[in-house]
């Protein structure tokens, strides 16, 4: 699984390269698959240098040949291709007409590359790296009781409401006799119709969804079990139900409670990693405020003292400041966690100044 820190690093790398534009097709992008012989790539680039000599525009010709030479020299620094492969980019980054500044950039991606690409264009080819920023695995969320249902989606650290429905099912009554039996039958029929409507929405939203890892179902009372036991769901979706949780809420709060109560299933997912470290930070902030710090200036001061155990950086923080803090953290063996703003805990960190720290021990100031 790609960590939040790896995604943050990759996002910064992509953002930097997106700013570069070539005046002509002079920016070179090369993707080397994991396990591929890097010497074969070098030989291929030497051949491309010869081909580039045929480019009519002499300035473009020189820029391409120089970019390839810079890339070849860079690749010769590697004894072999890194485990996940290598993405390399080279070209003239100068913004001044008539002045060249050939640079080379490379990154080992957080996931194995399985494509080999050589491209020369006015922009760097970055779509393959961008795909690694997308959350591949998603969970469907279904919560219901006799009155309402909410269908949602957990994608990475983000919980999204897809559909909220009300049943129109009449409440239970305690009257006796034939009228009560007839009322009960009407209520049962209305509930079945509601279950069918829920199942149709779930089918529409999830059946053809790629990377749907599972479906979490929850709700107050026994209604959720009645729904599942009645086999209303499409068979393929029924088989994707990975847990059923008793909840106190429906609606948006119910979705958050469902995710929270499904920790065991979601233990390896990014949202739980973020939630756990942020919950620890917020708990210490409430109970032992001298064991934590927040805000750029205070956190930096404690980092430089070497007393920070865990550094929390919001993805909203300016990347130059983030890099500065991370460099200090590395000197003192401080663990670094990048926190998204998709969760309520992540929003709290953003509101606290976008930086937080759990200290190695209490410090009184």
Ranges in the chain annotated CATH 3.30.420.60: 138-268
Give the pLDDT score at 175.
Answer: 53
pTM above 0.75, yes or no: no
pLDDT digits (tens, 9 = 90+) for 101-122: 999 999 999 989 989 999 999 9
Best CATH choice for the domain 4-131 from the list 3.10.450.50, 3.30.960.10, 3.40.50.1370, 3.30.70.20: 3.30.960.10
Cβ atoms of residues 53 and 65 within 8 Å? yes
Give the pLDDT score at 78.
Answer: 95
pLDDT digits (tens, 9 = 90+) for 187-204: 888 899 999 999 999 999
Give the pLDDT score at 9.
Answer: 83
DSSP assignment of 214-244: EEEEEESTTHHHHHHHTT-S-HHHHTTEEEE
pLDDT digits (tens, 9 = 90+) for 130-187: 888 776 678 999 999 999 999 999 987 788 999 999 988 777 655 555 577 777 788 8
pLDDT band per the 50, 70, 90 thresholds, residue 267: low
pLDDT digits (tens, 9 = 90+) for 297-348: 999 999 999 999 999 999 889 878 988 998 899 899 999 988 888 788 889 9
pLDDT-above-90 percentage for the chain = 68
Cβ atoms of residues 72 and 42 within 8 Å? yes
Between 293 and 172, whose confidence is greater?
293
Is the model's pLDDT at 3 over the cut of 80?
no
Lowest mean pLDDT among 22-26, 138-142, 266-270: 266-270
Cα angle, residue 337 at apex, residues 331 and 341 outer, rounded to 5°: 145
Cβ within 8 Å of residue 154, ≥6 positions away: 138, 139, 140, 141, 216, 259, 266, 269, 271
CATH superfamily of 273-359: Ribosomal protein L30/S12 (3.30.1330.30)
Is the model's pLDDT at 268 over the cut of 70?
no
Domain 138-268 coded CATH 3.30.420.60: yes
Give the pLDDT score at 254.
Answer: 93
Lowest mean pLDDT among 7-11, 148-152, 208-212, 265-269: 265-269
Cβ atoms of residues 86 and 42 within 8 Å? no
Instruction: Quote the distance between the C-alpha of residue 332 and its chain's center.
Output: 28
Maximum C-alpha span of the chain: 97
What single DSSP character describes residue 76? T
Is the model's pLDDT at 208 over the cut of 70?
yes
Give the pLDDT score at 21.
Answer: 92
**Token pair recorded at residue 44:** 């291929």
pLDDT digits (tens, 9 = 90+) for 218-241: 999 999 999 999 999 999 999 999
Cβ atoms of residues 17 and 60 within 8 Å? no
pLDDT band per the 50, 70, 90 thresholds, residue 266: confident
Give the pLDDT score at 156.
Answer: 76
Give the pLDDT score at 174.
Answer: 54
């Amino acid at each position: 699984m790609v960590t939040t820190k790896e995604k943050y690093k990759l996002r910064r790398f992509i953002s930097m390269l997106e700013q570069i534009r070539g005046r002509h097709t002079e920016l070179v992008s090369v993707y080397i698959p994991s396990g591929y012989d890097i010497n074969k790539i070098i030989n291929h680039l030497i051949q491309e240098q010869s081909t580039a000599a045929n480019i009519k525009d002499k300035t473009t010709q020189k820029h391409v040949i120089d970019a390839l030479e810079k890339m070849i020299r860079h690749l010769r620094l590697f004894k072999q291709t890194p485990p996940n492969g290598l993405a390399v980019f080279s070209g003239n980054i100068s913004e001044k007409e008539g002045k060249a500044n050939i640079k080379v950039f490379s990154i080992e991606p957080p996931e194995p590359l399985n494509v080999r690409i050589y491209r020369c264009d006015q922009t760097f080819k970055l779509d393959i790296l961008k795909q690694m920023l997308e959350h591949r695995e998603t969970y469907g969320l279904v919560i219901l009781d006799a009155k309402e249902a909410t269908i949602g989606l957990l994608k990475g650290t983000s919980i999204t409401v897809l559909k909220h429905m009300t049943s129109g099912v009449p409440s239970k009554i305690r009257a006796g006799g034939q009228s009560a039996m007839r009322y009960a039958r009407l209520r049962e029929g209305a509930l079945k119709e509601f279950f069918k409507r829920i199942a149709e929405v779930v089918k529409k939203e999830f059946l053809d969804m790629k990377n749907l890892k599972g479906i979490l179902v929850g709700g107050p009372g026994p209604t959720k079990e009645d729904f599942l036991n009645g086999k209303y769901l499409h068979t393929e979706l029924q088989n994707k139900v990975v847990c059923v949780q008793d909840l106190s809420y429906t609606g948006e709060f119910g979705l958050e409670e469902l995710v929270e109560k499904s920790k065991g299933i979601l233990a390896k997912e990014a949202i739980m990693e973020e939630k756990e470290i942020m919950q620890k930070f917020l708990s210490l902030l409430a109970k032992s405020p001298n064991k934590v710090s927040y805000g750029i200036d205070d956190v930096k001061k404690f980092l430089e003292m070497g007393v920070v155990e865990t550094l929390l950086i919001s993805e909203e923080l300016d990347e130059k400041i983030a890099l500065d803090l991370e460099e200090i953290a590395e000197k003192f063996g401080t663990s670094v966690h990048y926190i998204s703003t998709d969760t309520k805990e992540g929003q709290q960190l953003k509101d606290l100044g976008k930086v937080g720290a759990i200290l190695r021990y209490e410090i009184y100031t």
